[in-house]
Every structure is written in C-alpha cells, then in structure tokens.
Structure 1
Amino acid sequence: MLTIPINQPMQRSRGEASVALEHGTAGMRLTGLRQQGSAKCILPYGAVGRGGAPEVVFLNTSGGLTGGDALSYAMTLGPRARAVATTQTAERAYRSSGGAARVRVAMTVGADGWLDWVPQETILFDGSCLDRRTTLDLAPGAGCLLLESVVLGRAAMGETVARVALRDWREIRESGRPVMVEPLVLTDRALQTGAAGLAGARVFASVAMVGQGVADLLDPVRAVLDEAGVTAAASAPDGRLMLRMMAADGWPLRRQVARCLAVLRRGQPLPRVWQM
C-alpha cells in the first residue's frame, strides 16, 4: 500500500522568459530569446523582420499562480527599436495555502525606442496572495505605454472576493531617474472600507504613458471616457499621461480600455491575442 507523507512539500511552478530585439536596416530582428520552466515567449509569424512594431506574447503554461510560485518576464529593446508586448490570456492568481506568488516584469527600452506593455487582465480569486513588481527603464528619447488591469473574481461565474492580498509595484525610470512610482496594497480590510476599497468596483485599470508629446493625447482620450458603467479620469502631469478606470463588471471596462488604447496607439489594432 502506498503511503503519502502528509508533510510532503507541494510542487511550485517556476518560469522565466526573456526576449531581446534590435532595429536593423531590414527592420526589427530578434537577438535574444530565453525560456525556462512555465514561462514562454511567442513571436507570431511575420511579426519580426518587417518594418513597424512586432508583437511579443508572454504566457504562463502552468495555468495560473498560487502561493510559492515565481514568474519572470523580461524584454530588452535596442536603440530605435519598437515593440508591442502582451500576455496570451488573463493571468490568474488562485487561493494560496501559504506564502505569496511572485511576479517580476523587467523591460528596458533603448534610446529613441518605444514599448507598449499591454498585458491582459490579472484575475484575483478569493484567498489569493500576489506580489508583483513591474519596472520599465527608458534610455534618452525612449517612451512607453504601460497598462495594468485587475479583476476581483469573475462576476459571470458568481465569484466573490472577500480575502485577498495584493502588493503591486509599478515603476518607470528615465535614464535611471524615477518618473513614475506606483505602489498598491490591496487587503481584506481595504475591500471593506468604502472608497478606499474601490467603492464596490470589482475591476480596475491604470494606464501610464511616458514620452515626448504624450500630453497632446489628453483631450482625445478624455473624449472617449464615456463607456456606460465605467468611472474614468485622465490627467497629464509633467510630461506623463495617466488614466484610471474602474467598474462593477469586467466587460464594460475591457471595452473602455480598448477604446483608450485605440486613441493612445493612434489607431493601431489591439494585439492579435486579445479577444474583443
């Protein structure tokens, strides 16, 4: 008879994926690719080697995160390189039996380059514990667009979130100098304290855009902040463009995010893995 020790440590997922792109005479070219464990990186057919910005898709093959898991995504763009990076689907943080799931995202953009980091939503399930840190380093003349969306359970599935622990740090640096630092801590207590707990909203998103001329997009993006069921606002302090959005349901917010991205990305289509 097989005996299973009750104190046997549970297996945890580990994943690291990194990609490097450079701008050459024939357009963008891949100069580095590394994949390990549950993290993968896909460049859709035809996305590299042509002019314009290639798409890079990161994915976690473990199907989600729980306490003790570790996931790392990294990208390096050379001078004048441009790219759009996203995730294959929504990331899921499941109930933790101990400890936090750790996610690290590190992106570097060379001089006069540009990166759109537009991952799909992060879904937090009841009892989840997630520690995430996202950093974008910009060289002189470089710029970026950074999106983050969080869903507190899936309303269509009747899910509610009463217990959660989220520590989320987002930072953009220009030539090593921080130009945006956003720490977020979301706990059980915060969910129960009115406005500090999102005033009943189940979904929220933030968009940050840094680069030359981004303030010129403030009025155009404000003009599309009218999706029914979504509360949203935009501002442009010190050469940055910031958007905040929240809603009681994920689908209206996703539509609002898509409309904002269409303006900010000057009509470029959403990444092909997005389903709208």
Structure 2
Amino acid sequence: MDVRSGRNMLDTTHPPRMQRSRGTAMVAFHHARGATRLADLAMAGSAKVMLPRVPGDVPEVVLLNTSGGLTGGDRLSFQLQIGAGCRVLATTQTAERGYAALGVPAQVLVRASIGAGARLDWLPQETLLYQDAHLERRTEIDLATGAECLLAESLVLGRQAMGETLRSATLQDRRMIRRDGRPVWADSFYLDGGVLADGSAALLNGARALAVVCLVAQGAEDAVGPVRAVLGDGAVSGWDGRCIVRLCAPDGWPLRQQLAQVLRILTGRQLPRVWQGGGFP
C-alpha cells in the first residue's frame, strides 16, 4: 500500500509508468586520400556505434543497443551515410532481443543512404523473439546511381535449447530499397499468434528460424547459380540486378550455417568478426 495515496501498489487498474529506452546513432563515411574514411559520428541514449580495427580496406561498423533488448515503448534509430565510392560493412554486436511488451510496441528504424558507386553490406545478427514480444521495425535503403547494397536479416522464434515454444508475439517488419527515389525491392513480414499457431506450408510450416537476403547490384542475378549450389534448401531468385534468397530452418543453428554460406558467396569475404563469436561457422 502506498500510504501517501492510499492506493495498492499492485493495482493493475492504475499501472505504474515504466521507464523506456531511447537511442539514436548516425555514422557517415567518405572517400578521401584513396580510402574509405570516417566523416561523422553521433550517438545518444542506448544506441552506440563501434568501429573495430579490421584487416583490409572495408571498414566494419558495429551497432549496438546498450539497453540489452527491446520491450514495449522502446525507440531505437540508426542512420548510415555511405559516400560515393566507399564500401562499408555494417552489423550488430549481438542478437537483438524482443521481450514481452504491454500494449505499445517497440520500434526500430534503420536508414541508409549510399552514394554513387558505393556499396553497403547490412548484415545484422539475428533477432530473437520472446513470448509476448511486440516489435515494429522499418529498414530503408536509398541508392544513388551505380550504388549497391546487400541486406540480410534473420529471425529466431524462441530459444529451443531452453525449451521455449513461442505462442504469442507480434512482429511487423518492413524493408524498402530505392534507387534514385524509385523502389527496386520492397518486403513486408507480419507475424502474430495466428501465424505461430498455423503449421501449414503456406506459413511457417514448423520453422523456428528464417532469413531473407537481398543483393541489389549490377549482375546480381548471376549469383543465383552459386547460391543454389550450396543450399540444400531455400528459395533463390534473380532478375534485373537483384538476387533474393529466403531460408528457413527448425532452429537458429542450421539457419546460421546456411546463411554463412550464402553471405560468403555474395560478399566474397569472411563474415564480420563479431559474428564469429556468436556461433556462426
């Protein structure tokens, strides 16, 4: 009992106001003195940016959320600016976790602008949804003439090793890639309790982990053959400078194995260093 107000502290008709996480971060690169170099950096709240030392001439940007996960009412925003002629790889420090939310969803926004002749590989680690998670996420990538991008996002529905079976969660995930202001690829994914309960082949078909990979680049369709050659399962398509790969698996580990093979082909590089500490082969 709160003696000042006379109200029971466990009274659910007057729930306490919960503390919410807020974070924004921006990182920009330009091409100077023959190399891709940091041009600008800003961070606020729980959104942080790390720039680890890596071999080679492609900088790695590691984004992280210091709040430890996302719950109802949290707001997280990242912005990437890749100047003309640059190539940058961006990822996340670890899996993002969507925790139980009461009513109001957590919201995540990722925006990237890629200059003429530049390339961004946006390769975040997986999103792990917990029971009663409520998450809305939007990813927008704007390409200038001659720019390229590779996007890969993966999702794991509960932790199988902990005996979790996800029965109630909501995810609205929207992705858009534009070139010179015109859409070249749009993808929307919606998940709720009805989808989780339906085991039909038209929906998840029993899968607990899934991923989408999109390469937008001149000649991207030529990657279809090599990708199909390494996949025992998965859908691959390519046309007019696009290569799209969709993967599903019974759990996160077999999905990681498939995803690692695909990304090595599409990037021509090893996986980001932070991935190698997260169980990726």
TM-score range, shorter chain: over 0.9
Q: Does 1:243 align with 2:249?
A: no
SS at match of 2:255: helix
**In the TM superposition, what is the alpha-carbon distance from 1:197 to its structure 2 partner?**
3.2
Distance in 1 (CA, whole Å) between partners of 2:53 and 2:185 is 34
2:257 to 241, 251, 255: 255
Distance in 2 (CA, whole Å) between partners of 1:3 and 1:270 is 57
Q: Does 1:87 align with 2:130?
A: no
Cα deviation per residue 1:46-103 (whole Å; 9 max; x = unaligned)? 57xxx62100000000000001001111100111111000000000000112210000
1:157–1:32 distance in 2 versus 1, CA, 3 Å: same
For the Cα contact (< 8 Å) 1:190–1:196, is it kept in 2? no
Distance in 1 (CA, whole Å) between partners of 2:208 and 2:48 is 29
Distance in 1 (CA, whole Å) between partners of 2:116 and 2:86 is 8
Q: In the alignment, which residue of structure 2 is the partner of 1:203?
A: 209
Distance in 2 (CA, whole Å) between partners of 1:202 and 1:8 is 34
Distance in 1 (CA, whole Å) between partners of 2:95 and 2:224 is 28
1:239–1:45 distance in 2 versus 1, CA, 3 Å: closer
Distance in 1 (CA, whole Å) between partners of 2:254 and 2:195 is 24
Q: In the alignment, which residue of structure 1 is the partner of 2:197?
A: 192
Q: Does 1:174 align with 2:174?
A: no
Equivalences for residues 27-106 of structure 1 within 5 A:
27-45=35-53, 52-106=57-111
SS at match of 2:239: coil
2:74 corresponds to which letter in structure 1? D
Q: In the alignment, which residue of structure 2 is the partner of 1:222?
A: 228
For the Cα contact (< 8 Å) 1:111–1:139, is it kept in 2? yes
SS at match of 1:198: coil
2:25 to 9, 17, 27: 17
Q: In the alignment, which residue of structure 1 is the partner of 2:12?
A: none
2:39 corresponds to which letter in structure 1? T
**In the TM superposition, what is the alpha-carbon distance from 1:11 to its structure 2 partner?**
0.1
Deviating 4+ runs (over 3 angstroms) = 1-7
SS at match of 1:223: helix
- Decide which structure has the larger Cα Rg and report it: 2
Aligned residues: 268
For the Cα contact (< 8 Å) 2:219–2:240, is it kept in 1? no
**Superposition RMSD on alpha carbons, in Å?**
1.6
**In the TM superposition, what is the alpha-carbon distance from 1:184 to its structure 2 partner?**
1.1
For the Cα contact (< 8 Å) 2:121–2:149, is it kept in 1? yes
Distance in 1 (CA, whole Å) between partners of 2:18 and 2:171 is 22
TM-score under structure 1 normalisation? 0.93
**In the TM superposition, what is the alpha-carbon distance from 1:239 to its structure 2 partner?**
1.9
1:46–1:256 distance in 2 versus 1, CA, 3 Å: closer
For the Cα contact (< 8 Å) 2:54–2:60, is it kept in 1? no
**In the TM superposition, what is the alpha-carbon distance from 1:237 to its structure 2 partner?**
2.5
1:3–1:181 distance in 2 versus 1, CA, 3 Å: farther
SS at match of 2:78: strand
Q: In the alignment, which residue of structure 2 is the partner of 1:212?
A: 218
2:223 corresponds to which letter in structure 1? L
Unaligned runs of 5+ in 1: none
**In the TM superposition, what is the alpha-carbon distance from 1:216 to its structure 2 partner?**
1.3
